[in-house]
Amino acid sequence: MERVSRQACFGGWQDVYRFDSKSLAGSATVGVYLPPQAEQRKLPVLYWLSGLTCTEQNFISKAGAQRYAAEHGVILVAPDTSPRGDQVADADRYDLGQGAGFYLNATRQPWAAHYRMYDFVVEELPGWIESHFPASDRRAISGHSMGGHGALVIALRNQSRYRSVSAFAPIVAPTQVPWGELAFSTYLGEDRLSWQDYDATALLTRLGWRHGSILIDQGEADDFLDSQLQPQRLREAAAAVNAPLHLRLQPGYDHSYYFIASFVGEHIAHHAAALQD
Ligand SMILES: N[C@@H](CCC(=O)N[C@@H](CS)C(=O)NCC(=O)O)C(=O)O
């Protein structure tokens, strides 16, 4: 593995690493924030999944999360959003291909060769983190938009691996909206049954949620709210199976990292509490 950069930050270190990933059949780039407490003991980890067009840089440079991670003694891990490189298939648009991995395992070519972000985030990344850093197997997961979709899907399908989940403006029902329909038909093919394993609303209905409350913030001035996000679909599913969903609609906030920066402290406090006991 290679350390690409290291910056002192709130008494700890904001690092970026690159390593060879089996799941992605290529190199993976990951932001790792080590709070000051990591000098003394093993710490729990919050995994963060970013949205469309993002790399590992967006969260580490724009969310301002390190201050809260240092306060609570939580390691932050923020991977790039897709496989990258000249050998990796791509598309000529922002919502497909590189930067738009949708946290699934693609089954259609040419995508299937590298687009295995689901396996990468669920298995390989925690394995790598827990063997190279003072990180425990107490895990929480969060993300934004496409990454909120990834966080919800991954937590719901792996309830013994994650103690807590939250999201900002997540795509809660990708099988029902244009971003998800395009990505899933491209990466998974036309068999809509196979899409259900990557749809948080369908998964919550099928599996429920056995841990504490799922925290979701959604800006009411988000341009994607009605067309792509539709959080009421998840609210209805949660009510039907009696799952603990805390959906907060935030007046005036849009889809940007200004919105994330405004509430990320509350999300980290929420996860820190769940990771403690
Ligand atoms: N209008 C945007 C749509 C994509 C977008 O809003 N991406 C969100 C995640 S879904 C984001 O985090 N963008 C990067 C940033 O704000 O730093 C574009 O075309 O780039």
* Domains of the chain (ranges, CATH numbers): 2-276 (3.40.50.1820)
> Ligand 1: residues within 6 Å at CB?
51-54, 58, 62, 94, 144-146, 255-257
Q: Residue 136: which residues within 8 A CB-CB, separation 6 or more?
A: 42, 43, 44, 45, 130
Q: How far is the CA of 144 from the centre of ligand 1 (A)?
A: 10
**Best mutation site among 255, 259, 260 for ligand 1 pocket (most ligand atoms within 8 Å of CB):** 255
Ligand 1 atom, smallest distance to 94 CA? 19
Q: What angle do CA 29, 270, 169 make, to 5 degrees?
A: 60
Q: In the annotation, is 166 catalytic?
A: no
Query: In this structure, how many other beta carbons lie within 10 angstroms of the beta carbon of residue 113?
Result: 15
Catalytic residue among 72, 149, 255, 267: 255
pLDDT at residue 159 in the model: 98
CA 173, CA 156: separation in Å to the nearest integer? 14
Q: At which residue do the structure tokens 């899933």 appear?
A: 184
Q: Are 90 and 97 in contact (CB under 8 A)?
A: yes
Active site annotation includes 142:
no
Looking only at the bridges linking them, the beta strands covering 135-143 and 75-79 are unpaired
Catalytic residue list contains 222:
yes
* Residue-level pLDDT at 7: 98
Question: Using an 8 Å Cβ cutoff, are 28 and 16 in contact?
Answer: no
Q: What is the pLDDT of residue 92?
A: 97
Residue nearest (by alpha carbon) to ligand 1 atom 12: 51
C-alpha 232/C-alpha 110 separation (Å) is 35
ipTM attached to this prediction: 0.93
* pLDDT, position 277: 62
The reported pTM is 0.98
| Separation of CA 158 and ligand 1 centre (Å) | 27
Q: 53 C-alpha to center of ligand 1: Å?
A: 6
Kindly give, in sequence order, each residue whose CB lies less than 8 Å from that of residue 191, ignoring residues fewer than 6 positions away: none
C-alpha 97/C-alpha 88 separation (Å) is 9
Looking at ligand 1, which residue's alpha carbon is closest to its atom 16? 256
Low-confidence ranges of the chain (pLDDT < 70): 277
Distances (CA, A) of 195 to 123, 169, 200: 20, 20, 11
Nearest to 100 by CA among 117, 123, 121, 77: 117
Task: Label each residue of 192-203 as H, E or C.
Answer: HHHHHHHCHHHH
- Which residue out of 80, 149, 222, 270 is catalytically annotated? 222
37 CA → ligand 1 middle, Å: 33
**Which residue, among 86, 126, 77, 82, has the nearest Cα to 106 in the 3D structure?**
82
Which residue among 48, 49, 50, 53 is best mutated to probe the pocket of ligand 1, counting the most ligand atoms within 8 A of its Cβ?
53
pLDDT attached to residue 105: 98
